[in-house]
Amino acid sequence: MIKINNVHKAFGDLIVLSGVSTEVSDGQSLVVMGKSGQGKSVLLKLITRLLYLDSGQIFIDDDDLGTLNGKDLDVCRLKFGMLFQSAALFDSLNIFDNVGIGLKAYNRYSESEIKSITTDSLARVGLVDVEEKYPAQLSGGMRKRVGLARVVAMRPQYILYDEPTTGLDPVTSSQIAKLMKQMQVDLNVTSIIVTHDIPTAFFLADKIVLLENGNFSFTGSVEDMKASELESVQDFISGYKEEADLNRR
C-alpha cells in the first residue's frame, strides 16, 4: 500500500501541493489527472523520493519514506518501476541491453538468467526479434513497449506511469493501455498513472483523483467522476465521448 498523508511541496513561492492525501491499496490502479503544471509528475517524484517533500508523510507499505536512508531507501526503491513519458531509452544501447540494464546493475543474475528474463519481458509486451535493434529503429509505440518491458523485467511491486500514452495515435494508445492493464493482472502490481488521456484513465482506474490548485478537488471511482456535478470535473471531462471508451473497443 502507498499512503500519502497531508503532503506539501513548493518551489520557492510556487506552491505545487498543499496538503494532498490519498492511498492506493495493493493491486489497485490510481489515476492522477489534472491540467498541465498542476504537479502530477512532482507527486510521482515525491513517491520515489527523487524530490523531498516539505511536510507530510508518504508511506510505502509500513515504511515512512522520509525516514529511510542508505540501504533502506535503496531497498524501498527496488519495489518501484517507472515508465517515463518519453520511454527514456538509451539510444546507444540495443533493445536487449536497454531492457536488461536494471538486471545487470542489480548484479544478482547470471547472463543466462538476464537473457531469459529480458526475452520473456519483451514477449509480454508483444515484441519479438527486436533485441538487436536500436531505439531509433522503432516506432513511438514500440519504444513505449520496450520501456514497459524494462519495468516488467525488474518484477516491481509498484509501477508509476508518467503520461504513458502522450504522443501516440489513438490505436497505439489503446494498445498500450491494454498492455498496462494486462501487466497489472499478470504481475499483481499496484499502479499510479498520471495522464491527460481520459479514455485511458477511465479504462485503467480503480480510483481517480483530480489535482487542482495544489489539492485533490475530486476523489472517487470512474462512475463517480462521470456522475460528478463539480464544475472542475465537468470542465476537465467535457471533451470525453462514450464511444471513445476503451472498454468498447
Structural Rg of the chain based on CA atoms: 18
Mean pLDDT computed over every residue of the chain:
91
DSSP β-ladder status, 158-162 and 215-220: unpaired
Can you list the positions of beta strands (E) in 61-214?
63-64, 80-83, 158-162, 190-194, 207-212
**Could you give the 3-state DSSP secondary structure of residue 237?**
helix
What confidence score (pLDDT) does residue 245 get? Answer: 64
For residues 137 and 171, give the distance between their C-alpha atoms in angstroms, rounded to a whole number. Answer: 20
Q: How confident is the model at residue 37 (pLDDT cuts 50, 70, 90)?
A: confident
The residue that leads in pLDDT, 48 or 106, is 48
What confidence score (pLDDT) does residue 167 get? Answer: 83
- 215 sits in the region (left: phi over 0; alpha: psi -120 to 50; else beta) called beta
pTM above 0.75, yes or no: yes
β-strand partners of 17: 9
Q: What tens digit of pLDDT does each residue of 203-227 get? A: 999 999 999 999 999 999 999 999 9
